[in-house]
Structure 1
Amino acid sequence: MLIAAAFTLLVFAYSLVSRRLESTLITAPILFTAAGALMLLIPEASRELSIDQKGLLLIAEVGLVMTLFTDASHISRKSLQDNHRLPVRLLSVGMLLTILLGAAAAMACFDGLSWWEAGILAAILAPTDAGLGQVIVSSPRVPPRIRQALNVEAGLNDGLAVPFLMLFIALAAAIEEGVGTRGVLARFLLEQIGYGTAIGLVIGLAGGVLMGLAQRRQWMSPELGQLGVVAMPLLCILAAEESGASMFIAAFVAGLAAQVGFPKIGRHSVEFTEGWGQLFNFFVFFLFGLLFARNWHDFTPAIMLYSLLSLTVVRMLPVAVAVSGIGLSRASVLFLGWFGPRGLASIVLGLVYLEQQASLPGEDSIRLAVMATVLLSVVAHGLSAKPGIERYADSSAALPADAPEYAAVAAPSSGKDRLRV
């Protein structure tokens, strides 16, 4: 009760001064993470956290399912097909290289870590979170093409990271238990990905067609239509639990598939994303602060080195490779590379990994590296967002009008930028 009461009071207080804080460097993730960390000064809060870990994890999992669904439902095919397909480059070559380089960096930084364990860490930290730099994806001073590339990347790479994470966990656990990896891989492909994709397609296609029909015949009120949108990812959770599939893959696929029968689904999920979705984000960062405060004394130089590498070399080099050959300025490449913050998805995926109870030898290194990287990102990207915009705006203003940065882009399917914390 103490944790819930403190969080609720903080949300109320933040709502009172939220507009004033917009002009400062204090972002919502910084505020809620710091408040969560301070809660551990109260002994009762520490005891309550130990007792209620399963309940807190359930809230985080449900929230991530909702986020994956709404993110996928907001992204249109047109937004992926801008000039030279910049978002596709970041989500394909960029993301694959990020996971590979992240795993290689983990092997170099930590002794005794297997390649599969290194892959787990890299997959957890691969997704970016536009919420940590929301001012960037909504700033008119940043060229629309760059803003949209970061926005679309953050909206889809969390869902794309889930299969990699689940695969690496399954293979690492199989090797640790001395089980053949071929059978584990086959079961993973069938249950986690196969069943998850099938569930997502059925719920997304059927739900989208029915909601589209109801809208065309004016059976559905706009307000209650939002409840129908929220019900689809909840159905994914229930179906996945019964079949052993991944609820995250199911929700992500459902969000994409629902657009087939109901192209305007992104607009109907805006209120949830802006309201209840933000409340969930606040809670995850508050929970992260609690968990960080319990473990900060275990951070080693190797942990801090990896977190620094993860936010710089592991992110920026793959981005540079992915966007090479399309004529972006050096300032644009640096801007895209630096503003790939780690936040919401990495926190929840880290909790999901711990829930698997794989008992891998490198579990402590994985857990601490994720926490250190997210914490560093919350602070560094939060504080550098506005100064970064100013410097990049000055640089991009000197570019010619026909520069690739100013190429025309398609608007998101929701009709506005996808909003997160």
Structure 2
Amino acid sequence: MGAHLALALLFAAFTAYSLVSRKLDASVLSGPMLFTALGYGFYHTDTSFLSALDKSVVEFLATSTLAIILFRDAANIRISSVMAERATAFLSIRLLFIGIPLTIIAGTALGMSLFPTLGIFGALVLAIVLTPTDAALAQPVFGNDGLPEIEREALDVESGLNDGLCLPLLLIALALAADTGSGEGMAGHATFFLKQVVFGPLVGLAIGYLGAAAAALAFAHGISNPAGRTPIMVGLAGLAYLGAELAGGNGFLAAFAAGLAFGWRLPAETVAKASNFAMTEGSILTNLTFFLFGAAMLPQALEATSMPALFYAGLSLTAIRIFPVFIAMLGTRTNARARLFVGWFGPRGLASVLYLILVVDQSGFDVAEAITNIAVFTILLSVILHGVSAPFAQKAFFPDRS
């Protein structure tokens, strides 16, 4: 298959998807599911087209996509309503600061028991890679007003912040696993983590607020035309990410914080109009990332699939996620169905793909391939299972609201 033919087929797939996207959103076939399968099919049809791609391309796509989605989702969170509804903020904090540590601990313990050769740090890396959730794999859930607002908003906030919180932990775990630390010990790692989680949001808040103020001024004085306003979210998301990285902070936390500031500073209708381009761009990049995931990462993982890997993947998507969520939600006014709903809809996607690239890039880490194969298989299961179940969330968890 020549490069031109391969690209023509890929663009044809995007065209076909756009024509039937509304039907697909209500079906059990999601965009990530279809494009993962398409990428896998491309690999088996002709690997020469994909041989020119290296992991830096996938890393760039995954990073850009995640930053744009985090900014866009955060911008559409109405801070005033979240603060007024304290239950949402309270639940989000519990999911982040109780649910995440418990999930990592449970995943590490399971990894050590099933894969002793990974060692404690290898099992820790695997657990962290599969901890962050991805709202892009469950969009029918987040757009369904028939589902409880508090739980949906909390899931959205969790998926926006857990990527940035887990990344510093992953980098520290990789340094410990490969014995490539700077020699500063735990104090140095703690300082690194604090810089990531403090500088990132501060840079993001500044860029998001100043960007929104500049946009309000330009809109009010007619300096920008309507067509020129739509890419502003993409530009600010990239600026926040790179600005934070240059300052020593976490780029994903910065993108989310920038989106919050942008959405807080501008009227809801202005944010909604600006979101259109970011939503389209995010959808294209998400599907393209999963296409490359299916073509470049999935074939090797499927060849190395084992029963322990299957067992780990199944538990990672269920017990290892759901039990910590149940514990984190103790003391809230949520019933068992709501807790199960929040626990189940923690799909693994873009952040985990990006983290895996960092794992592979880590020199001196001899269990990177084993971790990658297990995690890729888990992401594949998540793409399928969460994609299939998302359209039926209301009927399955809250039938009284149907």
Inter-partner Cα distance in structure 1 for 2:155 and 2:190: 34
Find the partner of 2:76 among 74, 79, 98. 74
Find the partner of 1:320 among 323, 326, 341. 326
Asked whether 1:376 is paired with 2:378, we answer no
Are residues 16 and 160 of structure 1, via their aligned partners in 2, closer, same or farther at CA, if it must alter by over 3 Å?
Answer: same
Find the partner of 1:40 among 43, 46, 52. 43
With 189-198 and 49-58 compared, the bigger mean Cα shift is at: 189-198
Is the 1:80–1:88 Cα contact (8 Å) retained in structure 2?
no
Asked whether 1:181 is paired with 2:185, we answer yes
With 185-194 and 377-386 compared, the bigger mean Cα shift is at: 185-194
Report the identity percentage: 34
Inter-partner Cα distance in structure 2 for 1:141 and 1:260: 25
Is the 1:107–1:113 Cα contact (8 Å) retained in structure 2?
yes
Asked whether 1:223 is paired with 2:244, we answer no
Asked whether 1:209 is paired with 2:227, we answer no
Inter-partner Cα distance in structure 2 for 1:168 and 1:313: 23
Inter-partner Cα distance in structure 2 for 1:200 and 1:83: 24
CA RMSD of aligned residues (A): 3.0
Inter-partner Cα distance in structure 2 for 1:20 and 1:225: 29
The match for 2:236 is 232
TM score, norm. by length of structure 2 = 0.85
Inter-partner Cα distance in structure 2 for 1:56 and 1:43: 19
Quote how far apart the aligned CAs of 1:191 are: 6.3
Counting only pairs closer than 5 Å after superposition, residues 49-128 of structure 1 correspond to structure 2 as: 49=51, 51-77=53-79, 78-79=81-82, 82-84=85-87, 85-128=90-133
Counting only pairs closer than 5 Å after superposition, residues 131-170 of structure 1 correspond to structure 2 as: 131-170=136-175
Is the 2:71–2:233 Cα contact (8 Å) retained in structure 1?
no
Counting only pairs closer than 5 Å after superposition, residues 277-356 of structure 1 correspond to structure 2 as: 277-290=282-295, 291-355=297-361
The match for 1:27 is 30
- Over residues 171-199 of structure 1, what are the superposed CA-to-partner deviations in whole Å (9 max), with x where a residue is unaligned? 334x2569443475266347655654554
Are residues 4 and 118 of structure 1, via their aligned partners in 2, closer, same or farther at CA, if it must alter by over 3 Å?
Answer: farther
The match for 1:14 is 17
Are residues 197 and 302 of structure 1, via their aligned partners in 2, closer, same or farther at CA, if it must alter by over 3 Å?
Answer: same
Gaps of 5+ in 2: none
Inter-partner Cα distance in structure 2 for 1:194 and 1:83: 23
Letter in 1 for 2:344: W
Are residues 86 and 119 of structure 1, via their aligned partners in 2, closer, same or farther at CA, if it must alter by over 3 Å?
Answer: same
Indicate the SS of the match to 1:41. helix
TM score, norm. by length of structure 1 = 0.82
The match for 1:200 is 204
The match for 1:411 is none
- Over residues 261-300 of structure 1, what are the superposed CA-to-partner deviations in whole Å (9 max), with x where a residue is unaligned? 4465743541133211100111111111112023311112
Inter-partner Cα distance in structure 2 for 1:256 and 1:53: 31
Is the 1:237–1:247 Cα contact (8 Å) retained in structure 2?
yes
Is the 1:40–1:294 Cα contact (8 Å) retained in structure 2?
no
The match for 1:276 is 281
Inter-partner Cα distance in structure 1 for 2:253 and 2:141: 28
Letter in 2 for 1:350: L
Letter in 2 for 1:31: L
Letter in 1 for 2:389: S
Indicate the SS of the match to 1:360. coil
Are residues 243 and 358 of structure 1, via their aligned partners in 2, closer, same or farther at CA, if it must alter by over 3 Å?
Answer: farther
The match for 2:134 is 129
Quote how far apart the aligned CAs of 1:101 are: 1.9
Gaps of 5+ in 1: 398-421
Letter in 2 for 1:121: L
Inter-partner Cα distance in structure 1 for 2:194 and 2:400: 49
Is the 1:116–1:172 Cα contact (8 Å) retained in structure 2?
yes
Is the 2:134–2:348 Cα contact (8 Å) retained in structure 1?
yes
Quote how far apart the aligned CAs of 1:108 are: 2.1
Asked whether 1:365 is paired with 2:370, we answer yes
Are residues 328 and 378 of structure 1, via their aligned partners in 2, closer, same or farther at CA, if it must alter by over 3 Å?
Answer: same
Is the 2:169–2:193 Cα contact (8 Å) retained in structure 1?
no
Letter in 2 for 1:378: V
Inter-partner Cα distance in structure 2 for 1:339 and 1:190: 29
Inter-partner Cα distance in structure 1 for 2:91 and 2:191: 34
Letter in 1 for 2:189: L
The match for 1:248 is 252
Letter in 1 for 2:348: R
Is the 2:237–2:258 Cα contact (8 Å) retained in structure 1?
yes
- Over residues 285-316 of structure 1, what are the superposed CA-to-partner deviations in whole Å (9 max), with x where a residue is unaligned? 11111120233111122211111111111110
Inter-partner Cα distance in structure 1 for 2:183 and 2:38: 44
Inter-partner Cα distance in structure 2 for 1:348 and 1:238: 16
Indicate the SS of the match to 1:155. helix
Are residues 172 and 81 of structure 1, via their aligned partners in 2, closer, same or farther at CA, if it must alter by over 3 Å?
Answer: farther
Are residues 27 and 192 of structure 1, via their aligned partners in 2, closer, same or farther at CA, if it must alter by over 3 Å?
Answer: same
Inter-partner Cα distance in structure 2 for 1:238 and 1:134: 27
Are residues 140 and 58 of structure 1, via their aligned partners in 2, closer, same or farther at CA, if it must alter by over 3 Å?
Answer: closer
Between the two proteins, the alignment pairs up a number of residues equal to 394
Are residues 299 and 199 of structure 1, via their aligned partners in 2, closer, same or farther at CA, if it must alter by over 3 Å?
Answer: same
Are residues 262 and 100 of structure 1, via their aligned partners in 2, closer, same or farther at CA, if it must alter by over 3 Å?
Answer: farther
Is the 2:68–2:234 Cα contact (8 Å) retained in structure 1?
yes
Quote how far apart the aligned CAs of 1:33 are: 1.1
Is the 2:98–2:328 Cα contact (8 Å) retained in structure 1?
yes
Is the 1:196–1:247 Cα contact (8 Å) retained in structure 2?
yes
The match for 1:401 is none
